[in-house]
């Protein structure tokens, strides 16, 4: 769907066409829920956040001028809500502790229980590291590596040049990777044993 | 600590081979590269969390729960006129609970209705009253009735109309069954007529009687006057001439020739 079609879709939503709004939800509902989940790591919170984002989208449809892709506009609208929720979670004592339930919806099913356990531990490690890096780096990492947005869309959503997006993304990856390595080194025995059981290289 | 070349190559969008070549010759970037590869493997194993169907359905129902800011303006105007449906009222209230700007606008509009009217300075009312042009009283039937001339004119007009229409109050009275009233009126008129005749007769008798008395008086006075005149004539002829006063005029008596003349006249 190009910019003109997206603009037309928004216009139809503004005119009160239920079918158009259903189409918009079908196109972006899953994506926005995914972004919300990556910021909250809890199903209930993610649904609440995504609901809030779509309410905001509906109430601000008249502001969309078709200047850039609809997904970028939606992310720019939802950015403050996501950051607010992320900061709220950060203030909780258990912020850096990522539970099994939190990562369960993100895991692919594995036939081997040991491999499944290893994947779960790696994922928990990833989100623990993510929680320790600055917000401006974490949000770009989530949008790019977890939600698969293009550099251009991220730049439009966050009002940043492509070069800044790439630079921040590189630093975010480097920070997360370093923290993962440091944690693995500090609890090396546990990971080595899991890896040995799973037969995978860690 | 990396030398920064890997970051520069990444931002510049250099081919992967170029980055690998640099990592092969730079120990710090090699370590960083390994960490990045390890993190990338974790990312690649994750899947997208799926939203439930019920949740997606709740998103699709959003238009029935709220309105956008432009629609809120229209609904707010309708609300002030009391022309808003219950469903739209709920959507508007929900939107205001989330939108500070619209809630503020609604508050300002509501407050505007409760503002007190500005009181003018004391001299303003006097000046306004003085500058007000005199208003000609409107012609009104009540003003015409209140005016005696107008009332008379109206009465005449009404009488003429009644006459022209052939309306007879007696017919109305008869139709209304007021025959007894008519008889009573007739008897009263007869009684009044009789009473008037009696009074006229009595007045006539009294007048005749008084006329007779007056006639007698006049006759008596006449006779007395004649006899008195005769006495005077006789007294004048038998007495001496009267003395004269200091001024040469006679004192109380007529001259002889004058007296005679008077007598003959009488």
Asked if B95 and B66 touch (Cβ cutoff 8 Å), the reply is yes
What per-residue confidence (pLDDT) applies to B257?
A: 52
CA distance A12 to B131: 60
CA-based nearest distance A92→chain B, Å: 23
Check: pTM over 0.90? Answer yes or no. Answer: no
* Mutation site for B-interface testing, chosen from A59, A110, A116, A144 by largest number of B Cβ within 10 Å: A59
What per-residue confidence (pLDDT) applies to B86?
A: 92
Nearest CB to B39; choose among A25, A29, A176? A176
The DSSP H or E segment spanning A51 is: helix A43-59
Tens-digit pLDDT profile for residues B60-82:
999 988 988 888 888 988 888 88
Burial (CB count <10 Å: 0-12, 13-18, 19+), residue A146 = buried
DSSP conformational letter for B134: P
Tens-digit pLDDT profile for residues B193-235:
777 878 888 888 888 888 888 888 888 888 888 888 888 877 7
Q: Is A27 helix (H, G, I), strand (E, B) or coil?
A: helix
Q: Do B45 and A108 make contact, defined as CB atoms within 8 angstroms?
A: yes
Q: Is B57 on the interface with A (CB under 8 A)?
A: no
Helices of type H across A42-161: 43-59, 70-90, 100-103, 113-130, 135-141, 151-158
Please, which pLDDT band fits residue B238 given cuts at 50, 70 and 90? low
Cite the beta strand spans of A31-131 per DSSP E. Answer: none
DSSP conformational letter for B168: -
Tens-digit pLDDT profile for residues B100-153:
889 998 888 888 877 878 887 878 888 888 887 776 666 677 777 777 787 888
What per-residue confidence (pLDDT) applies to B249?
A: 56
* CA angle at A59 for the pair A55 and A65, rounded to the nearest 5°: 120
Q: Do A25 and B48 make contact, defined as CB atoms within 8 angstroms?
A: no
CATH of the domain spanning A98-202: 1.10.10.10
What per-residue confidence (pLDDT) applies to B246?
A: 59
Low-confidence stretches of chain A (pLDDT beneath 50): 200-202
Q: Calculate the average pLDDT of chain B.
A: 80
B:85-104 residues touching chain A, CB 8 A cutoff: 95, 98-99
Q: Could you tell me which residues come within 8 angstroms of residue A23 by beta carbon, excluding any fewer than 6 positions away?
A: A9
Q: Is B133 on the interface with A (CB under 8 A)?
A: no
In chain A, ranges of CATH 1.10.10.10 domains: 98-202
What per-residue confidence (pLDDT) applies to B163?
A: 78
pLDDT at B254 over 60: no
Q: Could you tell me which residues come within 8 angstroms of residue B58 by beta carbon, excluding any fewer than 6 positions away?
A: A51
- Neighbour tally for A178: CB within 10 Å: 18
Q: Do A30 and B47 make contact, defined as CB atoms within 8 angstroms?
A: no
What per-residue confidence (pLDDT) applies to A201?
A: 44
Structure tokens at B60: 């699709």
CA-based nearest distance B66→chain A, Å: 8
Burial (CB count <10 Å: 0-12, 13-18, 19+), residue B105 = middle
Q: Is A47 helix (H, G, I), strand (E, B) or coil?
A: helix
Burial (CB count <10 Å: 0-12, 13-18, 19+), residue A89 = middle
pLDDT at B259 over 60: no
What per-residue confidence (pLDDT) applies to B106?
A: 86
Long-range contacts at A131-134 (CB < 8 A, ≥ 24 apart): A131/A90, A131/A95, A131/A96, A131/A98, A132/A96, A132/A175, A132/A179, A133/A172, A133/A175, A133/A176, A133/A179
Architecture of domain A1-95 in this structure: Orthogonal Bundle (1.10)
What per-residue confidence (pLDDT) applies to A192?
A: 55
Q: Is B253 helix (H, G, I), strand (E, B) or coil?
A: coil
List CB contacts (< 8 A) between B67 and chain A: 59
Tens-digit pLDDT profile for residues A119-157:
889 899 899 899 889 989 999 999 999 999 999 999 999
CA distance B83 to B211: 101
CA distance A147 to A127: 14
CA distance A146 to A92: 23
CA distance A46 to A51: 8
* CA angle at B187 for the pair B185 and B188, rounded to the nearest 5°: 65
Q: Could you tell me which residues come within 8 angstroms of residue A159 by beta carbon, excluding any fewer than 6 positions away?
A: A76
CA distance B55 to B60: 9
**Helix axis angle, A162-186 to B27-45, nearest 10°:** 90
- Number of CB pairs, chain A paired with chain B, less than 8 A apart: 122
DSSP conformational letter for A145: I
Q: Could you tell me which residues come within 8 angstroms of residue A75 by beta carbon, excluding any fewer than 6 positions away?
A: A35, A143, A149, A153, A154, A157, A158
For B60, B85, B93, B96, the CA distances from B66, given in Å and listed in that order, are 12, 14, 8, 9
Q: Is B46 helix (H, G, I), strand (E, B) or coil?
A: strand
pLDDT at B256 over 60: no
What per-residue confidence (pLDDT) applies to B231?
A: 83
What per-residue confidence (pLDDT) applies to A200?
A: 47
Please, which pLDDT band fits residue B243 given cuts at 50, 70 and 90? low
Nearest CA in chain B to A105: B49
Nearest CA in chain A to B13: A166
What per-residue confidence (pLDDT) applies to B143?
A: 73
Tens-digit pLDDT profile for residues B159-186:
888 778 777 766 765 666 656 666 777 8
């Amino acid at each position: 769907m190009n910019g003109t079609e997206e603009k037309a879709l928004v216009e139809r939503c503004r005119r009160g066409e239920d079918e158009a709004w259903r189409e918009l939800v079908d196109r972006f509902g899953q994506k926005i829920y995914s972004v919300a989940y990556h910021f909250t790591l809890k199903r209930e919170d993610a649904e609440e956040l995504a609901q809030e984002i779509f309410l905001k989208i509906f109430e601000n449809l008249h502001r969309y001028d078709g200047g850039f892709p609809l997904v970028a506009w939606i992310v720019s609208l939802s950015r403050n809500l996501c950051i607010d929720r992320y900061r709220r979670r950060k203030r909780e004592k258990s912020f850096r502790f990522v539970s099994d339930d939190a990562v369960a919806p993100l895991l692919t099913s594995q036939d081997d229980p040991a491999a499944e356990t290893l994947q779960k531990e790696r994922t928990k490690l990833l989100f623990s590291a993510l929680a320790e890096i600055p917000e401006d780096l974490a949000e770009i990492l989530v949008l790019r590596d977890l939600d698969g947005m293009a550099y251009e869309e991220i730049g439009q959503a966050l009002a940043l040049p492509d070069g800044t997006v790439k630079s921040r993304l590189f630093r975010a990856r480097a920070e997360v990777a370093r923290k993962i390595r440091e944690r693995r080194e500090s609890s090396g025995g546990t990971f080595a044993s899991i890896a040995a059981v799973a037969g995978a290289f860690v | 600590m990396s030398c920064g070349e890997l970051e520069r190559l990444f931002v510049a969008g250099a081919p992967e081979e170029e980055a690998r070549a640099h990592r092969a010759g730079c120990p710090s970037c090699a370590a960083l590269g390994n960490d990045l590869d390890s993190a990338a493997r974790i990312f690649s194993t994750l899947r997208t969390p799926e939203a439930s169907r019920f949740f997606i359905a709740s998103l699709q129902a959003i238009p029935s729960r709220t309105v956008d800011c432009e629609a809120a303006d229209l609904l707010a105007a309708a609300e002030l006129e009391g022309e808003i449906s219950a469903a739209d009222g709920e959507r508007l209230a929900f939107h205001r609970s989330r939108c500070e700007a619209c809630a503020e606008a609604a508050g300002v509009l509501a407050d505007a209705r409760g503002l007190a009217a500005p009181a003018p300075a004391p001299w303003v009312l006097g000046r306004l009253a003085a500058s007000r042009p005199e208003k000609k009283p409107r012609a009104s039937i009540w003003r015409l009735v209140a005016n005696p001339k107008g009332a008379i004119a109206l009465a005449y007009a009404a009488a003429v109309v009644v006459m022209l229409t052939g309306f007879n109050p007696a017919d109305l009275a008869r139709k209304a069954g007021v025959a007894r009233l008519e008889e009573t009126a007739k008897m009263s008129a007869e009684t009044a007529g009789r009473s008037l005749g009696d009074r006229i007769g009595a007045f006539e008798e009294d007048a005749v009687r008084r006329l007779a008395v007056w006639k007698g008086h006049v006759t008596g006075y006449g006779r007395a006057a004649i006899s008195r005149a005769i006495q005077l004539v006789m007294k004048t002829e038998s007495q001496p001439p009267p003395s004269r006063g200091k001024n040469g005029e006679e004192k109380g008596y007529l001259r002889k020739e004058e007296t005679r003349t008077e007598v003959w006249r009488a």
